[in-house]
Amino acid sequence: MPTQEEQLVVAGDEAEALLGASAFTSVINELVEQSFQTFVNTEPEHMEKREQAYSHYRALVDVVNTLKQRVEVRNSIHEAANGDTSQEEQ
């Protein structure tokens, strides 16, 4: 059974692969654009529809930021491991 640290590294690897996939980026960009268009083209009196579009946009941003955070955690684990290795060699 992998350690929690190993699981975090795998999650970071998978997140980086997803963020780098053109299909993922394309879908996210299309959905962001749709949310933006809905938001700006909705009449002011239709607050609920605008709020829904904004919430949809925020959810997309949260997904992408969570993936980026997983990559950062993985990178921190690698840096800590490399730092420990270089200190042992000295």
> Mind listing the pLDDT tens digit for each residue in 42-67?
998 999 999 999 999 999 999 999 99
Concatenating the DSSP letter of every residue in 4-61 gives HHHHHHHHHHHHHHHHH-HHHHHHHHHHHHHHHHHHHHS-TT-HHHHHHHHHHHHHHH
Instruction: Give the per-residue pLDDT at 37.
Output: 95
Quote the number of domains for the chain: 1
Residue 1 has pLDDT above 90, yes or no: no
The pLDDT assigned to 84 comes to: 65
Average pLDDT estimate for 32-38: 95
pLDDT tens digits for range 4-28 = 999 999 999 999 999 999 999 999 9
79-81-85-90 Cα dihedral, nearest 10 degrees: 50
- pTM recorded for the entire structure: 0.83
The whole-number pLDDT of residue 22 equals 97
- Domain range enclosing 29: 4-89
